[in-house]
Amino acid sequence: MKLKRISVKSSLGNYSVIAGAGTVHRAAQEIAKLGRFSSIHVVSSTKVWRALSKSIQRGLQLPGKVHFHRMNDGESAKNLRTAELLSRVLVKSGADRKSLLIAVGGGVVGDVAGFVAAIYLRGVALVHVPTTLVAQVDSSIGGKTGVNLPEGKNLVGAFYPPRLVLIDPELLRTLPDREFRGGLAEVIKHAIIADAPMFGMLEQNMEKILRRDRTALGLLIPRNVAIKARVVSRDERESGLREILNFGHTFAHALESVTRYRRYQHGEAVAWGMIAAAFLGHELGLTRTADVSRIVALIRRLGPLPGWPQVPATTLLNAMRSDKKTRSGILRFVLSPRIGEARSYDTVPLHVVERVLHFTPRLIDASAGPLGKYRG
């Protein structure tokens, strides 16, 4: 299959996202085009490295010594301590300002390694090789890096674009089923906010996609990359349009925070968040009933999700107030007037949000289906 090269605009320099089966085998050739580096440092996790080290090392047959560093890729390890430890490892390995950092892994590895690349010696070159679906279609593109604080998700970070992103769907073959399904939540999100025809395609082909059909993924992944690239090229620093990429995320980040990042994988929290956002849009008279039904039905086809936490709605509401999208204490929500469109709203009555937080798990639990049966 022909590789697709998608350009992303950035204030620090445009970069390419190369997507397609076999991309990882061209890694050395593509990285060589970026210039010469004094040293190369590959950051990954033990889990990813165990599954993919042979493929990655074959693709990274680069001149000179390549240093390999491991980190914990659990969401609970996405913090300042991990960033500090990785920075100190780079110092001990002799990394200087002409070094290259290659992040091989999912969203946590990409976010932490990207953050370290942004702050280490005030910035070193960065390449992403995403190995999860959520990273391939979303988090590796756009230059957002960061770590969590106990008070909230991604509250410390930087906009720091990579020099190159290499996306190979074949790396998803060893991805655990739960992580693959969670990544599909971000694919559904892109369809809801920007691509109604893709939403229809997902409805028609979800079983084939869940089986990781090569042809389906070969079409789906570049299409999602193009959506993300188009949005972030027009609004790199989330001052306007880019906010639509946060559909469902205000709810999702609160769910992750109150469960201390231990219950949900990110895509699972986003799946719940999109259901809640669809209900909120309906409560406000913005989202049509038919669209809410389609959104909920498609998300349910992803399979079982960890259950909604047994905490008061006010606890989740307080967690939302720490979200980085809050402006002057006012919560902002991305809502979808119709499938294929989304925009931000900052005049949402809090009592309506609290009502949605209260009834969302009850509505799902009351219906027959895997989402309501699994309590996680």
- Reported as a pLDDT band with limits 50, 70 and 90, residue 144 is very high
pLDDT digits (tens, 9 = 90+) for 192-204: 999 999 999 999 9
User: What is the set of domains in the chain, with CATH numbers?
Assistant: 4-174 (3.40.50.1970), 177-373 (1.20.1090.10)
- Reported as a pLDDT band with limits 50, 70 and 90, residue 322 is confident
Task: Provide the annotated active-site residues.
Answer: 122, 144, 186, 228, 238, 242, 246, 249, 253, 266
Q: What is the pLDDT of residue 30?
A: 95
Pair of tokens at residue 289? 């009933």
* Local structure of residue 310 (DSSP, 8 states): S
Question: Cβ contacts of residue 37 below 8 Å, gap of 6+?
Answer: 64, 98, 99, 100, 125
Q: What percent of the chain has pLDDT over 70?
A: 94
329: left (phi over 0), alpha (psi -120 to 50) or beta: left
pLDDT digits (tens, 9 = 90+) for 83-113: 999 999 999 999 999 999 999 999 999 999 9
- Per-residue pLDDT at 329 exceeds 90: no
Least confident of 39-43, 234-238, 287-291, 293-297: 234-238
Strands 333-335 and 343-345 come out as antiparallel
pLDDT digits (tens, 9 = 90+) for 9-67: 999 999 999 999 999 999 999 999 999 999 999 999 999 999 998 888 888 887 667 89
Q: Are 138 and 224 in contact (CB under 8 A)?
A: yes
Q: What is the pLDDT of residue 1?
A: 57
Q: Which residue's structure tokens are 């050739």?
A: 29
Q: What is the pLDDT of residue 65?
A: 79
* Local structure of residue 330 (DSSP, 8 states): B
- Reported as a pLDDT band with limits 50, 70 and 90, residue 366 is low
Q: Where are the alpha helices (DSSP H) in the chain?
A: 27-32, 46-59, 80-92, 107-119, 133-134, 177-194, 196-210, 214-234, 249-258, 266-283, 289-300, 313-320, 350-366, 370-373
How far apart CA 345 and CA 356 sit, in angstroms, is 16
How far apart CA 189 and CA 137 sit, in angstroms, is 11
Q: What is the pLDDT of residue 325?
A: 65
Phi and psi at residue 147, to the nearest 5°: -130, 165
Length of the chain: 376
pTM comes to: 0.89
- Reported as a pLDDT band with limits 50, 70 and 90, residue 359 is very high
- Reported as a pLDDT band with limits 50, 70 and 90, residue 326 is low
Average pLDDT, the chain: 92
- Per-residue pLDDT at 368 exceeds 50: no
